[in-house]
Chain A
Amino acid sequence: MNDSVLLLSLASAIVIGTPILLAGLGEMMTEHSGVMNLGVEGMMLGGGVVGFWMSSQHSSVALSLAVGAGVGALFALIHAYLAVTLRVNQIVSGLALVITGTGFAGFVGSSNDSALIYARPQSFLEPVFGESMQDLPLVGPLVFGHDWVVYMSWGLVAAAAFWLFRTRAGLAVRSVGEDPASADTVGISVGLTRYVYTMIGGAGAGMGGTYLMTQIFATYQHGITAGLGWIAFALVTFAGWRPWRALVAAYVFGALRNLGFTLQILGASVPSDVLNALPFVLTIVALIIISARPAAARKYSAPSALAVPYSRETR
């Protein structure tokens, strides 16, 4: 039963959901500090292309992921400077980052002596668990068939949930996102917090982009993220700013991307445009459901100061 089309499709959903999860989790951290960064797609491409280049030069996957995360964080630093220090409109700044990151990736991708599309990563991750575990019915391919990055992403979800909602530092971050003036009065540095968490978001996007290019696609191509960054952005809202929900949502969105092709193999044809729109439709539906229930709306709503620049003089 482990080779049924449907089950393999679900396992593929976890694979394609992982970069969405990494980028979405990063963006969630950013948004909890009150900064909205629309530039996820650009940071995935910009960080990912450098991470991919690294993977073609060196056999350490961890190194490539770290380089991709670092470059993603540098892109986010631009946004942090604009959004936090200069207090520009975060939507405009984020969109500028999408364009910059995409252009950067296109430039790096074709400016090398040998175009990156003909480069290949030097090494690929193997599943962590042995064959016997992977052959278990149902849970084999779904739970035990993955590389360590997938398990690390699960660990990051748990860590983020714990950090944000169970620690004093997490409370400080959320207070910066909810009410920066109050946080400021108790001595929390609003600016520093927002810088750090914006860069964490960029690191998540860069790592997600690197994983996508080096381990899933094993190739760099222009515009390879194909909207996954936007899905990661929608994921934060769909998940109600909760890490565990993001884990589920990332795989739901991942499954939707595979669904069209699986359906074609099974003999049913749904236009791919409809399926591509579904993550966003689901996000809107989730927003409607949440807003219709006041208790849920309080619990799963955006940080109050999201995308609002903080200025001590004007509070």
Chain B
Amino acid sequence: MRRFRLGVVVLIALALVAASCGDDEAEEVAATTTAAPATTAAPTTAAPEEPLRIAFMYDGEIDDGGWNEAHENGRQYLIANMDGIETTFVENLSPGSEFQAAFEDFGSQGYDMVVCTTWCQDDVLVVAPNYPDTVYLSWGGYLTAPNVGHFDGATEDGRYLDGLVAGSQPDVDLIGYVGGFAIEEVVRGVNAFMIGARELNPDVEIQVIWVNSWYDPAAEQQAAQALVDAGADMLAAEVNAPAVASVAEASGIGYIHYGIDGSGLAPNSWLSGFTFNWGPYYLSQAQALADGTWEPALTYGGLRDGVVGMSPFGAAVTADTIALVEERRQEIVDGTFDYFAGPITDNEGNVVIAEGETIAWEERTLCCQWLIEGVIGEIPAG
């Protein structure tokens, strides 16, 4: 019996050790980063007496090589470019009770701004009314409140340019595309990608697989491998993790990444990958709050707003292609080119955008519930 009790004590000790390891991480997570003196131009207003306290919430790890890393880069940009702020962040939160608890925590601690970098509209709207002095920013939402604003990046702007790069590659008949969920944003991205690809390679097809997860390295690897087995000559990904890059590299075929410069993940396969640059947006929101001019808004930023940019291109991308991509980028910024200009047919033969029509910028986020002609796959019901 004594031995048994000893065992329990040791187990508890072990649990404490494990917990304290966890604490290390928690400390790291909760470490408050005080802004270093800005090395760039001084901010337009004097730093307020009380630092502006800003919290960031991530649904994964900040070094995931994808979505969360791009947002973390935005936070670092904010730290580097604004005086008088204190930022903190929490990783690995799940939607629902964890999001709500974090919103509550930061609200009750008197944070001035809380940024949720993934879909959290449902949770933020529950908590935000309780803390009217805290401003909440949530990614991808559409219902604002007096202290809730939303932001989103125009994936399709970047995907169209990535598509041009994909279409420029010789001897590519089938592009394997690993998508997370078949939601509008991702489908819109696939469609824009295809428009770009077919501009240069009119016969190319895209086989799309949904892994029904934003972060599942094993599933992404297997989906990518299944696409290569099915004859894909190139891989593109719209998931948070870089497993698809590994498969492309191992298979010796081209690879197009999503949301961040991932050239280090697949040095030989790397072609391109648009980037999300959240930093300037975060800076503008924090600055507006400091100036007392903040208003709840829906911000949808693309190439024109600098929210979407491009990574360095891979070695297999020719100067001609780069010049074309740059030309199109400039035309999109100037508003003289619209890749969604009709006629556009879906992969079931229906004309979804008629001749002379397009998808207005304000209605972009409602599109698309159809896959464009040439895409093999379907949008699962429900």
Chain A positions near chain B (C-beta within 8 angstroms): 3, 5, 8-9, 12, 16, 78, 82, 86-89, 92-93, 96, 99-100, 103-104, 106-107, 110, 115, 117-118, 124, 216-219, 221-228, 257-258, 261-262, 264-265, 269, 271-273, 311
Contacts and interface: CB of A to CB of B under 8 A. Distances in A.
Interface in B14-62: 14-15, 18, 21-22, 24-25, 60-61
Contacts of A273: 212
6 contacts: A107-B25, A117-B64, A218-B249, A226-B217, A258-B225, A272-B212
Nearest to A15: B225
Given A8-B230, A16-B222, A88-B10, 15 more contacts: A9-B226, A12-B225, A96-B15, A117-B65, A118-B65, A217-B218, A217-B243, A218-B250, A223-B217, A225-B218, A226-B218, A261-B211, A261-B222, A264-B226, A264-B377
B355 interface: no
Contacts of A219: 217, 242-243, 245-246, 265
B250 A124 contact: yes
B93 to A, nearest CB: 14
Contacts of A8: 229-230
Contacts of B209: 261, 264-265
B265 A86 contact: no
Contact of A88 (B7, B60, B215): B7
A12 B216 CA distance: 18
Find the residue from A93, A96, A115, A117 having the highest chain B CB count within 10 A.
Answer: A117
B217 A221 contact: yes
Nearest to A88: B7
Find the residue from B11, B24, B249 having the highest chain A CB count within 10 A.
Answer: B11
Contacts of B210: 264
Contact of A12 (B18, B226, B250): B226
A118 to B, nearest CB: 5
Contacts of A12: 222, 225-226, 229
B63 A117 contact: yes
Contacts of B25: 103, 106-107
Q: In the complex, which range does the number of interface residues on chain B fall in?
A: 35 or more
Interface of B: 3-4, 6-8, 10-11, 14-15, 18, 21-22, 24-25, 60-61, 63-65, 207, 209-213, 215-219, 221-223, 225-227, 229-231, 241-243, 245-246, 249-250, 264-265, 377-378, 380
Given A3-B231, A103-B22, A272-B211, A87 B217 contact: no
B21 A103 contact: yes
A264 B177 CA distance: 12
Given A82-B7, A88-B8, A258 B18 contact: no
A117 B227 CA distance: 23
A273 B264 CA distance: 32
Contacts of A269: 378, 380
A224 B242 contact: no
A223 B213 CA distance: 13
Contacts of A118: 65, 264-265
B18 to A, nearest CB: 5
A313 to B, nearest CB: 9
Nearest to B379: A269
A269 B209 CA distance: 10
B230 A5 contact: yes
B311 to A, nearest CB: 15
Contacts of B246: 217-219
Nearest to A272: B212
A149 to B, nearest CB: 15
B226 A100 contact: no
A92 B12 CA distance: 11
Contacts of B11: 82, 86, 88-89, 92-93, 96
Contacts of B217: 217, 219, 221, 223-224, 226
A115 B225 CA distance: 25
Contacts of B14: 78, 82, 96, 100
Contacts of A78: 14
Nearest to B60: A222
Contact of A110 (B10, B22, B61, B249): B61
B55 to A, nearest CB: 20
A124 B246 CA distance: 12
Q: List 7 A-B pairs, minimum CB-CB distance, nearest first.
A: A86-B7, A8-B229, A88-B7, A226-B218, A261-B226, A221-B217, A219-B246
Contacts of A82: 7, 10-11, 14
Find the residue from A3, A8, A93, A217 having the highest chain B CB count within 10 A.
Answer: A217
B226 A258 contact: yes
Given A88-B8, A88-B11, A265-B209, A221 B226 contact: no
B15 A110 contact: no
A226 B226 contact: no
A264 B6 CA distance: 54
Given A82-B11, A96-B11, A115-B63, A221 B230 contact: no
A261 B65 CA distance: 24
Contacts of A117: 63-65, 242, 265
Contacts of A227: 218
A247 to B, nearest CB: 20
B250 A86 contact: no
A100 B20 CA distance: 11
A228 B144 CA distance: 42
B215 to A, nearest CB: 8
A227 B249 CA distance: 25
A212 to B, nearest CB: 8
Find the residue from A107, A224, A265 having the highest chain B CB count within 10 A.
Answer: A265
Contacts of B380: 269, 271
A2 to B, nearest CB: 11
A223 B216 CA distance: 8
Nearest to B227: A265
B378 A221 contact: no
Contacts of A5: 226, 229-230
Nearest to A220: B217
B69 to A, nearest CB: 9
